[in-house]
A and B are shown apart, each in its own frame.
Chain A
Amino acid sequence: MENQVATVNVPGPLKARSFIVRLLTKLYLPNIFAGLVKTFEWMVRPSATLEYPEVKRVTRKGYRGEHRLKKDDQGRMKCVACFMCATACPAECIEITAGPSPWPDRDKVPVQFRIDMLKCIYCGMCEEACPCDAIELTETYTQVATTREEKIYDIQRLLSY
């Protein structure tokens, strides 16, 4: 039983067909035609390229672009300078200077809030760590600057979104 070799009974026409198939495969031509059909399909398909300055890409929900600091319904910044985001940040790009709060409902507010966009890895950990839902990654992906200093965003820039 174990020594029995598995044999498949090939009917005559199929045998002839397999010979033709083998011959054609050896000639490469059917495969070349299949390839040509495939490339033609790709040619008539609309291309994935966007012509950038005229057509802007629509970002998907949850896209992680540049940061902003949110404001509450009274127009005050939500941040309470708890340093959670700076602690959570794996790239250590957030630098906060805290000061006393002018409002009674919190102890501190940031006097300065700097994010070094060149260090940032856009992981979104700051957004996850924030207890007040004050920092957010927007869908802005065009990040252009001519100097390194411009890429260190301060509190005015972050609040201005």
Chain B
Amino acid sequence: MIWELLWLCFTMFMAISIIMGIAPMLIIAERRVSAWIQGRKGPNRVGPQGLMQPLADITKLIFKEEIIPENADKYLFIAGPLLVFCPPALGFAVIPFGNAIGEYKLQVANLPIGILFAWAVLSVGVYGITLGGWASNNKYSLLGSLRASAQLISYELSLGLGILLIVMMTESIDPQQIVWNQVHQGFFGWNIFGGGNPLALPCGIVGFTMFFICALAENNRVPFDLAECEAELVGGYHTEYSSMKFAMFLLGEYVAMITMCGLIVTLFLGGWDIPFIHLEEQPTVFGAILSFGAFMTKMLVLLFSYLWIRWTLPRFRYDQLMGLGWKVFLPISLTNVVVLAIVGILWKGPIG
């Protein structure tokens, strides 16, 4: 009992360190990557290679004046950034970030419905954006938050169908089960390659592509960052925010990115599985560290591609965004699910 409690504390500490460690690093990474892509050097003066820059940024933001507009709804105005920051961090609780040590799993909460839970809390983030934008009593903020919610509704459908794909492949919504299913089948059994069913290979790849693009939209990242589109809406939903509340919006976006990437790794990229190395046979400390490294590597590569895409693509126009969501992604995802159902029956037989 006492060991389980200690283990829970340890995993919670790990999860919080992952989120709180990577989120500030993403601030500096975003600035450095954008600089490199644009042929500049980027901030490199604070600390070695500018690694202390987030500290300077956040210190500056803390000491700035905190303004709440006179006609704003004060409570909702404060609730906005909190709702953006906290729920995505909660979502990380169900993501298994390493192989078990003995019977102790490297996962904060081993929920049987973990994927649904992560899904639910990730979607709460948009309430923060909507409430914050509405409470600001500013027409640009309101437009930004309306866009965010409309965008979420359009893209969450395709995203949900992507999860359905995984549920059909694995026949479970338990993250542990999903990861173990991929680990047992080896590298070519990852869900991106069809989850052990060779016929489902195109479904897996198309599903992964759809899921990744919709995840960009879900996190309000370029090319889908219409909610904070500077060219049209000043700052979008965070126009009226200043000081640490603004920083909460900023960090909330990064935390949502981290959780989303963790989710993608769990769902499609085999979780903590290292290709061609059978870690599942040795639930030791060494194996756990290796598997943790594999999980982090996959997640950081995905996070880097988020930044990379941001500094490559221009923003969509709003009608293009809606058209893409409803007319392209939804039909492709639906077709994908139907094709996977047929292919699954062909491979495993109707009973399964």
Number of interface residues, chain B, beta carbon within 8 A: 15
Q: Please count the residue pairs between chain A and chain B whose beta carbons lie under 8 angstroms apart in the complex.
A: 35
23 of the cross-chain contacts (CB-CB < 8 Å) are A32-B313, A36-B309, A36-B312, A39-B37, A39-B308, A39-B311, A39-B312, A40-B308, A42-B36, A42-B37, A42-B38, A43-B33, A43-B37, A43-B308, A45-B39, A47-B35, A47-B36, A47-B39, A47-B41, A48-B39, A49-B39, A49-B41, A51-B41
- Contact residues in B for A45 (Cβ distance below 8 Å): 39
What separation, in Å, do the CA atoms of A156 and B309 have in the docked complex?
58
Min distance, Cβ A32 to any Cβ of chain B, angstroms: 7
What separation, in Å, do the CA atoms of A45 and B37 have in the docked complex?
9
- Contact residues in B for A40 (Cβ distance below 8 Å): 308
**CB nearest neighbor in B for A42:** B37
Encode contact with A along B40-68: 1 for CB under 8 Å, 0 otherwise. Answer: 11001000000000000000000000000
Instruction: Bin chain A's interface residue count.
Output: 10 to 19
Tell me the residues in window 22-39 of chain A with beta carbons closer than 8 Å to chain B beta carbons: 29, 32, 35-36, 38-39
Name the 5 nearest CB pairs between A and B, nearest first: A43-B36, A39-B312, A49-B41, A39-B37, A35-B312
Min distance, Cβ B216 to any Cβ of chain A, angstroms: 12
- Contact residues in B for A44 (Cβ distance below 8 Å): 36
User: Which of B39, B40, B44 has the largest number of chain A CB atoms within 10 A?
Assistant: B39
The answer on a CB contact under 8 Å between A36 and B308 is: yes
**CB nearest neighbor in B for A45:** B39
Taking A36-B309, A38-B312, A47-B39 as known contacts, 8 extra A-B pairs with beta carbons closer than 8 A to each other, sorted by chain A number, are A29-B209, A32-B312, A35-B313, A39-B308, A39-B311, A42-B37, A48-B39, A49-B39
What separation, in Å, do the CA atoms of A100 and B259 have in the docked complex?
84
Q: Which of A35, A42, A51 contacts B39 (CB 8 A)?
A: A42
User: Which of A32, A43, A47, A48 has the largest number of chain B CB atoms within 10 A?
Assistant: A43
What separation, in Å, do the CA atoms of A113 and B37 have in the docked complex?
49
Tell me the residues in window 4-43 of chain B with beta carbons closer than 8 Å to chain A beta carbons: 33, 35-41
**CB nearest neighbor in A for B36:** A43
Min distance, Cβ B300 to any Cβ of chain A, angstroms: 16
Min distance, Cβ B329 to any Cβ of chain A, angstroms: 11
Q: Which residues of B contact A (CB under 8 A)?
A: 33, 35-41, 44, 209, 308-309, 311-313
What separation, in Å, do the CA atoms of A32 and B308 have in the docked complex?
11
What separation, in Å, do the CA atoms of A49 and B39 have in the docked complex?
7
**CB nearest neighbor in B for A51:** B41
**CB nearest neighbor in B for A36:** B312
- Contact residues in B for A47 (Cβ distance below 8 Å): 35-36, 39-41
What separation, in Å, do the CA atoms of A38 and B311 have in the docked complex?
11
Min distance, Cβ A2 to any Cβ of chain B, angstroms: 43
Min distance, Cβ B322 to any Cβ of chain A, angstroms: 16
Encode contact with B along A40-79: 1 for CB under 8 Å, 0 otherwise. Answer: 1011110111010000000000000000000000000000
What separation, in Å, do the CA atoms of A18 and B44 have in the docked complex?
48
**CB nearest neighbor in B for A32:** B313
What separation, in Å, do the CA atoms of A150 and B260 have in the docked complex?
59
Min distance, Cβ B83 to any Cβ of chain A, angstroms: 32
**CB nearest neighbor in B for A37:** B312
What separation, in Å, do the CA atoms of A73 and B149 have in the docked complex?
80
**CB nearest neighbor in A for B33:** A43
What separation, in Å, do the CA atoms of A44 and B308 have in the docked complex?
12
**CB nearest neighbor in A for B311:** A39
Min distance, Cβ A57 to any Cβ of chain B, angstroms: 15
What separation, in Å, do the CA atoms of A51 and B50 have in the docked complex?
14
What separation, in Å, do the CA atoms of A29 and B329 have in the docked complex?
13
**CB nearest neighbor in A for B309:** A36
- Contact residues in A for B308 (Cβ distance below 8 Å): 36, 39-40, 43
- Contact residues in B for A39 (Cβ distance below 8 Å): 37, 308, 311-312
Min distance, Cβ A34 to any Cβ of chain B, angstroms: 10
What separation, in Å, do the CA atoms of A122 and B66 have in the docked complex?
48
What separation, in Å, do the CA atoms of A35 and B40 have in the docked complex?
18
What separation, in Å, do the CA atoms of A45 and B38 have in the docked complex?
10
Min distance, Cβ A119 to any Cβ of chain B, angstroms: 34
What separation, in Å, do the CA atoms of A39 and B40 have in the docked complex?
13
- Contact residues in B for A29 (Cβ distance below 8 Å): 209
**CB nearest neighbor in A for B32:** A43
Tell me the residues in window 76-126 of chain A with beta carbons closer than 8 Å to chain B beta carbons: none
